Structure 1
Amino acid sequence: MASRTRKVFLGTFIYSKSREELSYLVNTAVCVDESGKIAAVREGCDRAKVEAEVLPELGWSLEEVEVRACEEGQFFFPGFVDTHIHAPQYPNVGIFGKTTLMDWLSTYTFPMEAKLAAVDQARRVYTAVIRRMISHGTTSAAIHAARGVESTNLLADLCLSLGLRALVGRVCMDEKRTCPDFYCDESPEDSVLHTRACIAHVQEIDPGFEMVKPVITPRFAPSCTAAALGLLGELRKETGLPVQTHISENAGEMALVAELFPDVKDYATVYDVHGLLGPDTILAHAVHLSEDEAALIAERGAKVSHCPSSNSCLTSGHARVRWLWDRGVEVGLGTDMSGGYSPSVLENARQASLVSRHVAVGIPDGPEKERAKLTVEEVLYLATRGGARVMGLGERVGAFEVGMEFDAVLVGLGLVGEDGVAVGEGNVDVFGWETWEEKIAKWLFNGDDRNCRAVWVRGTLVHERA
């Protein structure tokens, strides 16, 4: 029998057509070729029609095709995109105490990350966090690793072997005034040298960066000297690689930036003057941006990772997603573990909805108050297609369209019978009279990993719930 590398998925497919609109494809077949790309999308199609018409059109034989069909109460949704996560902080999830950002870094984050210089510890933590992310439906992630080259390379290896599409970056931090002695690069040159070593490793294991790609990662401006930022900016120009970092997360952090860079206009300009602000730059948080900073970020084409759970946990503030969109800035969602408490992008989508309502509370009654609130469609866009664009994957993932790669979650909802007992796991109960729009809203606000029945990346099954 020929190798079963081609696949046909049957059922309902839901994805973001735009920020404002979800596309609902019912009774649809999505055909995926050997490379994991979508070769055909046919609406009004059952298995018999696939066999009689679609496969012959594609030149595929039934013997070489795997077929996966939705069961009752199930649908396919694009894999979630986590645009900001700290993998070495995973053991600290939920342990944010009563601290704010800078105290939290010193008390919890730096000591934990330093432990992962030991590769055996790193393997344990990184394997756990990748598996947990995938089980929640995350198929792509922009990941901050720790300082160690060996452990960062291990993280890249594990993403590749476990099937997580990822940007992986070793954090650079050489500023002796803000970094602890036990967790600090020796010099600006040291930061770049170690970053180059991590880049070389990813080039070796995934030469085309099909699944894993290196990302230049100055932790944030206060952790880096101007010399280090400048050298990293030169490295970006030389390699064309993306950049990930933080911006305007917390008032104390912003005051520290002003103190360390007194001759630079503002936080965003610190990155810009050092060559780190461009269309491939991911800026996490962006809670307290000024109008001038938003204009600069939009002009450079840089993107923002909105981290609503983390911003609430660390009392950082409320990022204004609508405000960013109005100024031309693309936005995705980040879990920001362990500032955030959950590996679930779906959880952060509902938190984004709630945070937008808190933003609205501070706006006088009128049209702008209502506009500040994000819709179900908009937060699910942030979780998928918006995040893909933030990560530079907008042409590859985030929708079920011909030519895109099949990153998907099979979602199952609980069906409540006449006896009041739900069939199926999870916290989402469906009674049968809901529209698709209502089912999706219920899933957004009540769903969790139990609803993620199976997960595919590039057409390959990477997780299935027993």
Structure 2
Amino acid sequence: MSCRESDETSRIFRGTFVHATAKEPLEICEDRILGVTDGKIQFIGGADELSSLCTEYNFIAEDVQQLNEGQFLIPGFVDTHFHAPQYPYTGTGMDLQLLGWLEKYAFPVESKYADADFAKRMYDKAVRHSLKWGTTTASYFATIHTEATLELAKVAAKRGQRAFVGKVNMDQNSPKFYIESTEESLRETERFIAELKKLNLPRITPVITPRFSPSCTVELLEGLGKLAKRYDLPIQSHMSESAEECELAVSLFPDYKNDTEVHDRSGLLTDKTYMAHCLCLSDEEIDIVRQRGCGIAHCPSSNTAVRSGMFDVRKMLNAKVKIGLGTDVAGGYQPSILDAIRQAIIVSKLLSLNKPSDYQSIEYREAFMLATLGGSQVLGLDDKIGNFEVGKEFDALLIDVCCEDSPFDVINDLYTDNIEDKVQKFLYLGDDRNIKEVYVCGERVKEPKT
């Protein structure tokens, strides 16, 4: 995935930049300058280097955008798991558990996307709200419908979002009104890949997307594994989402020890694979995931909303498994990675209550890393995005904690917040009002409010 030619002029930002690095989950760089040309970061330096760097890189004074005291730049959020067709019923059915929720809400609504015009309207709403909350890169599940899935790709491209888009595959244990044959599923997936390539959308990547093992035969899973290898594509699915789902998978595939083995023996666990949830993995399964180089999309909001379970981020980080955050709309009830950050912290703290005293729950710095650099690692994009490094593409959010309609006040009667206080308050209290500008590959895709 690469930047398309940008129609934005070159620009320099001067102020505070906040990002994650290989060494620090949250690094604050004050009074710095960052130059962008053709969508990429050309240089980063101290404010005292402004004149020399402008001369060296042929920038002019008018290119400089000075951030005020309440503003800072962060990398764009990465949402590693979002069901775009489910957006219309977000916040509905939270009284049900996973399998019942799928039957009552997910399958009936997703079947409506056979109508490509309906799909286009609904997908535009989903992508627009995702961007509104600062998600510059999203990995989307669509539906089994090829034409509608192509509409999702076109909508994301038109809105300026970087996206992975997958046509869903289902050939068993699915409603009669929402199922494919094995042959049709494989044929249409290959057609989707070919048609998407013809559209020449540089920011959009096709992703192989079996829904989850209970809805796919071994023949289909193995066929999808071969397609992923043939076209060198990423793979996304759900794995070990709940105890109920794990039991179902084992009963459906008696020749396999667990859900992980079903995917692994089908050729679906690679260094380009990322699986949502993974709540019930044994230590042996965790080792397999790590050895294959797979990533995990941690979806704390939906895990608790539909009572699937609580994911142990600390254990996975200690096991050196790649972790990113996902909203999992509509099992998750907010298309906001800010909500995923907060829920990830809460779940980790709840888990710590029943752990040994030396167990460390994650805190906001690590959750911030998962939402940015961690997500880019899961999607295999950390050489392009995820933090502010020279040569990377400029995906960024301009945060303003002092805007007039901010949901919180950074100055109170006790003391004046320092920059770390402001960052922490944004992560815990902020919302889309504080996200003043959104950049993808150097292009502004959300205009500043007036």
TM-score interval, smaller chain: over 0.9
Cα distance in 2 for partners of 1:150, 1:334 equals 25
Separation (CA, whole Å) in 2 of partners of 1:137 and 1:19: 24
**Equivalent position amino acid for 1:426 in 2:** S
Q: Is the contact between residue 222 and residue 257 of structure 1 (CA under 8 Å) also seen in structure 2?
A: yes
| Letter of the 1:87 counterpart | A
Q: Which residue of the partner structure matches residue 419 of structure 1?
A: none
Q: Match of 2:421, as an amino acid?
A: E
Deviations 1:315-366 (A, max 9, x none): 01100011111122110000000000001101100110000011111213x2
- The aligned counterpart of 2:358 is 367
Structure-1 separation of matches of 2:208 and 2:262? 16
- Kindly state the Cα deviation for residue 4 of structure 1 after the two structures are TM-superposed: 5.5
Preserved contact between residue 19 and residue 378 of structure 1 (Cα < 8 Å): no
Q: How well do the aligned residues superpose, as a CA RMSD in angstroms?
A: 1.5
Aligned pair 1:332/2:324, yes or no?
yes
Selected match of 1:318 from 302, 310, 317: 310
- Say if 2:225 is the partner of 1:233: yes
Worse-matched range after superposition: 232-241 or 21-30 = 21-30
Q: Secondary structure at the match of 1:116?
A: helix
Match of 1:128 in 2: 125
- Residue in 1 that maps onto 2:176: 181
Is it true that 1:443 corresponds to 2:421 in the alignment? no
User: How far apart are 1:429 and its partner, in Å?
Assistant: 1.4
Aligned residue for 1:429, secondary structure, equals coil
Residue 60 of structure 1: CA displacement? 3.8
Q: Work out the CA distance in 2 between the residues paired with 1:107 and 1:188.
A: 24
Q: Which aligned runs of 4 or more in structure 1 are off by greater than 4 angstroms?
A: none
2:125, 2:442 → 1: CA distance? Answer: 23
Deviation of 1:215 after TM superposition, in Å, equals: 0.2
Partner Cα separation in structure 1 for residue 298 and residue 117 of structure 2: 32
Matched, 1:109 2:102: no
Alignment equivalent of 2:348, drawn from 348, 356, 360: 356
> What's the counterpart of residue 204 of structure 1?
198
Counterpart AA for 1:180: P
What is the distance in 2 between the residues matched to 1:85 and 1:281? 16
Q: Does 1:219 align with 2:216?
A: no
In the other structure, the counterpart of 2:365 is 377
Amino acid at match of 1:243: I
- The residue number in structure 2 matching 1:454 is 437
1: CA distance between counterparts of 2:12 and 2:74? 15
SS in 2 for 1:262: coil
CA separation of 1:21 and 1:435: change in aligned 2, threshold 3 A? farther
Q: How far apart, in 1, do the equivalents of 2:183 and 2:24 lie?
A: 46
**Which string of whole-angstrom CA distances, capped at 9 and with x for unpartnered residues, describes residues 208-262 of structure 1?**
xx31000000000001001100100111111110000001111111111011101
Q: How does 1:261-410 map to 2 (within 5 A)?
A: 261-364=253-356, 366-368=357-359, 371=360, 373-410=361-398
Distance 1:375 1:456, change over 3 A: same
Deviation for aligned residue 1:465:
4.2
> Could you report, residue by residue, the CA deviation over 1:118-159 in whole angstroms, capped at 9, with x for unpaired residues?
112111111011110111110001110011111100110111
Q: Does 1:162 align with 2:154?
A: no
Report the AA paired with residue 455 of structure 1. Answer: V
Kindly indicate whether residue 399 of structure 2 is the aligned counterpart of residue 411 of structure 1.
yes
Alignment partner of 1:89 out of 82, 86, 91: 86
TM-score, normalised by the number of residues in structure 2? 0.95
Distance in 2 of aligned mates of 1:24 and 1:97: 38
Provide structure 2 residue ranges, at least 5 long, that are not aligned to the other structure: 1-6
Question: How has the CA–CA distance of structure 1 residues 173 and 340 changed in structure 2, closer, same or farther, with 3 Å as cutoff?
Answer: same
In the TM superposition, what whole-angstrom CA distance separates every residue of 1:26-69 from its partner, at most 9, and x where no partner exists?
121111112x0100111224xxx63x32221113455xx64332
The structure 1 residue matched to 2:69, chosen from 53, 68, 72, is 72
Sort the Cα spacing of 1:60 and 1:66 in 2 relative to 1 into closer, same or farther, 3 A: closer
Task: Supply the distance in 2 between the matched residues of 1:459 and 1:61 (Cα, whole angstroms).
Answer: 17
Aligned partners of 1:248 and 1:287 also within 8 Å:
yes
Q: Report what 1:152 is aligned to.
A: 149
SS at 2:114 equivalent: coil
SS of alignment partner, residue 388 of structure 2: coil
Change (3 A) 1:240 1:310: same
Q: CA deviation at 1:189?
A: 1.7
Residue of structure 2 in register with 1:417 after alignment: none
CA distance in 1, matches of 2:175, 2:25: 47
| CA distance in structure 1 between the partners assigned to 2:23 and 2:200 by the alignment | 32
Preserved contact between residue 25 and residue 368 of structure 2 (Cα < 8 Å) = no
Give the letter for the 1:79 counterpart.
G
Q: Is the 8 A contact 1:81 1:140 kept in 2?
A: yes
- Which residue does the alignment assign to 2:248? 256
Q: What is the CA distance between 1:289 and its match in structure 2?
A: 0.9
Deviation at 1:464, TM superposition (A): 2.2
Counterpart of 1:191 in structure 2 is 185
Amino acid at match of 1:427: P
Whichever residue aligns with residue 185 of structure 2, its letter is S
Code of the residue aligned with 1:367 in structure 2: it is D
Change (3 A) 1:429 1:19: farther
Q: Is the 8 A contact 1:141 1:166 kept in 2?
A: yes
Task: Go from structure 1 to structure 2 and tell me whether the alpha carbon gap of 1:465 and 1:342 turns closer, same or farther (over 3 Å shift).
Answer: farther
Distance between the aligned counterparts of 1:158 and 1:19, measured in 2? 36
- Is residue 2:55 matched to residue 1:56? yes
Work out which of the residue numbers 130, 140, 146 in structure 1 matches 2:137: 140
Moved more, 398-407 or 427-436: 427-436
* Match of residue 418 from structure 1: none
Q: Is 1:333–1:383's contact at 8 Å kept on the other side of the alignment? A: yes
Distance in 2 (alpha carbons) for counterparts of 1:257 and 1:130: 32
User: Deviation at 1:188?
Assistant: 1.5
The 8 Å contact of residues 220 and 245 in structure 1, kept in 2 or not, is answered as yes
AA partner of residue 302 (structure 2): S
Equivalenced residue count is 440
Moved more, 423-432 or 279-288: 423-432
Q: Is the 8 A contact 2:8 2:442 kept in 1?
A: no
Tell me the equivalent position of 2:3: none
Task: Output one character per residue of 1:279-331: Cα deviation in whole Å (capped at 9) or x when no partner.
Answer: 10010001111111101101101110000000010001100011111122110
**Contact persistence 1:174–1:224 (CA under 8 A):** yes
- CA apart distance, 1:104: 0.3
Kindly indicate whether the alpha-carbon contact (under 8 Å) linking 1:22 and 1:377 is maintained by their aligned counterparts in 2.
yes
